[in-house]
Amino acid sequence: MEALILYFVLFFPGVYSSGPLGAETIPFSLLRELSRTITYSLPSLALLWYLITDKKGFSSLNEIKPRKPDLVSLGIGLPGLIIISLIISLLAYLFSQFLGIPTPPKVEGPATVAGFIVLFFSCLGTGYLEESYFRFYLLTRLETAVPNIVLRIAASTLLFSLCHAYEGPWGILNSVLAGVFLSILFLRYRSLHGIAWAHAAYNFFVYSMSLA
């Protein structure tokens, strides 16, 4: 019950606020990203980690400090996310018109150094927030209630993909594949930091590529 309440408190509004449904382009706004990081990502992450530590205090986070497996997870996670995204982009390019499915919205990257600095921290905050909840928190909390590992991954991935509904059908498919991939990676290495870094780096990569 706590997990579902936390999801609706932290992520359900994101279905509407992350981007307009059906938009062809999502423009970059320095003020919006800065505001979202300070007023949403950081407080949400603080609350989530407080619950993750079972309210023992943030000093207990030393138990999940970065380790070598995090680098392995990062090294596998980032290329994997990029490959998944490229495959989805290719499928969208080949079949969107034939199937009558709109292509995913294009994101605009920052045009200034200050914009890239804000984008870096925004991506890092989003990466840590989503991975802390959908992989570290949810998959761990469901171990007792849902012994079947496939069902746990499915539940985590379903909630994760709903947060990306604004990206349209192709974006949801990308989120499903990425969610399954990151869940398997987390369960294999028990690495929060690695998948959070990979998630953040992937988001930064997507924004940067829009400038190419």
Say what the pTM is.
Answer: 0.90
Block residue for tokens 């190419």: 212
pLDDT for 58 equals 55
pLDDT for 152 equals 95
> CB under 8 Å to 131, separation ≥6 — which residues?
182, 186, 192, 195, 196, 199
Q: Are 156 and 171 in contact (CB under 8 A)?
A: no
- pLDDT tens track, the chain, 212 positions: 788 888 988 887 554 455 555 566 778 889 999 999 999 999 999 998 888 877 655 555 666 778 888 999 999 999 999 999 999 999 998 998 888 888 777 888 898 999 999 999 999 999 999 999 999 999 988 888 888 999 999 999 999 999 888 888 999 999 999 999 999 999 999 889 999 999 999 999 999 887 65
pLDDT for 102 equals 82
